[in-house]
Chain A
Amino acid sequence: MHPLINELIAKAPVILDGAWGTQLQALGLPLGVLPDKWNVEHPEAVLRVARSYVSAGSQIILTNTFGANRANLRRHGLAAEVEAINRRGVALSKEAADGVAKVFASMGPTGALLVTGELTEKECEEVFTEQADLLAAAGADGIVVETMSDLTEAQIAVRAAKRTGLPVVACMAFQAGKNFDRTIMGVTCAQAARTLLEVGADVIGANCGRGIESFGELLRQFREVTQAPVWLKPNAGMPEMVEGQIVYRMRPDEFAAYVPQLVAGGTQFIGGCCGTSPEFIRAIVEELARLRSSKS
């Protein structure tokens, strides 16, 4: 186990951040523009989102680099900016964290399929190695590989992240199958945990996927095969359209009400994904404070 993870879980549960994309949209990010691009174009907006999570009580914040691997940037015509986007992404989160919170840099999928040969494993490895090295060089405290569906792609990303020497969190998005407990590529929690821990992940986890109501079961499945630390960033239920607007109906207090059972189930890291905001993080902080005071 990486010493930083040991230090963090000694004070578990550790509170993470929530969604970034929707927060940036509220600040004017237009439809169809890759959020990562704003690290160089509107750093003040990215900084504002990062700060809003630190002041809400996030003990770890991520970076606005989820889509900033070369394969994905190329698709958006941004391949030339891979270095600037990743470096600025870490710098902005570090500035917001100001030594109070840790900064774990986000690495999302390439968006290309290995199974059809659209991207070869070697190319995939180069893409993730480049991004992981940039994030580490920019001073990230850790790397979060997240929203993965393909186990091979996740393994390649985890290995690349691990080679930097930073602690690595490996998360997949479980949302498919009858019980919504597999990734769209068919990977189970048990397979994800065994495989990704074996290639060096310090923490295993689930993010995005379905709503928080389904995460207790995912956690139980992780715990059947491992005692490694678990990281959960659920969505605020499923989105709906109300009066022409896409909304997540779940309120921060409703979301936070699930947190005690997830903590009791053995998660060490808890935050939110799509549909969550700094208000959700605040609600988690309050819920956990209540939990502590009712115990003492």
Chain B
Amino acid sequence: MSDYADLYQAILEGNAKKAKEVTERALAEGADPLELLDRYMIPAMDEVGRRFDCQEYFVPELLIAGRAMETALQLISPLLAEGGGARAGKVIIGTVKGDIHDIGKNLVISMLKGGGFEVIDLGVDVPAERFVEAVGNQENIIVAMSALLTTTMGYMREVIKALREAGIRDRVKVMVGGAPITQRFADEIGADGYSENASGAVGLARRLLGLASSA
């Protein structure tokens, strides 16, 4: 396979136009889509996450890198679908009822997709029963919740309770995040994990599903 390091660079720099061009060229030249994902795209997003952790990158950089990643993913995902879609695992995510803030949630989605996860976005103002419905009879998946307001964070506990009452709490891992959320709060409400930011959410999701970190 030829070297498509340009794809890695384009995502890292958040250059969606270049990411699209290189991906199109690579596919036209017969590159393996799975290898593009594993060798360039996911490592690029891992590096974006690392730079975020080191305070070299902030939210704007995460956003534009995520967008470049998304552009490339759109080109290769139809080709990957037959290979089994969600290779890293599946995440059902939403901002909880009463809260319509979606910036944090969307960042997490972008980073999770960048990490190879299949993400089902339930949107904002999501009631407990919609999380339960979305899980259905699936197992070994993640339910991720976001809240920006101290007035809505308490609802996360209601969602966990609803999962328990539906008898499906043990089949999923629950992770939570948002400005007022702390590890202590996550422990209190019985969540399986908490991440302080979007880049940490990827590593957390991998750990919760027992996947090796690719970093």
Contact = CB atoms under 8 A, between A and B. Distances in A.
Interface of A: 21-22, 25, 31-32, 75-76, 111, 113, 115-116, 149, 175-178, 182, 184-186, 238-241, 244-246, 274-275
26 contacts: A21-B151, A31-B97, A31-B152, A32-B125, A76-B100, A111-B101, A111-B103, A115-B59, A115-B60, A115-B64, A116-B64, A177-B55, A178-B55, A185-B58, A185-B59, A186-B59, A238-B180, A240-B185, A241-B153, A241-B185, A241-B188, A244-B157, A245-B154, A246-B154, A274-B150, A275-B150
Contacts of B119: none
Contacts of B61: 186
B67 A116 contact: yes
A243 to B, nearest CB: 10
Contacts of A113: 63, 103
A43 B64 CA distance: 42
B182 interface: yes
Nearest to B54: A178
Q: Which 9 A-B pairs have the closest CB atoms?
A: A186-B58, A32-B98, A31-B98, A241-B188, A115-B60, A239-B150, A177-B55, A185-B59, A239-B180
Contacts of A184: 58-59
Contacts of A241: 153-154, 157, 185, 188-189
Interface of A is mostly: loop
A269 B160 CA distance: 42
Nearest to B156: A241
A207 to B, nearest CB: 13
Contacts of B100: 32, 75-76
Contacts of B40: none
A239 B59 contact: no
Nearest to B188: A241
Contacts of B153: 239, 241, 246
B99 interface: yes
A32 to B, nearest CB: 3
Contact of B155 (A31, A111, A176, A274): A31
A28 to B, nearest CB: 13
Contacts of A76: 100
Contacts of B179: 175
Nearest to B186: A241
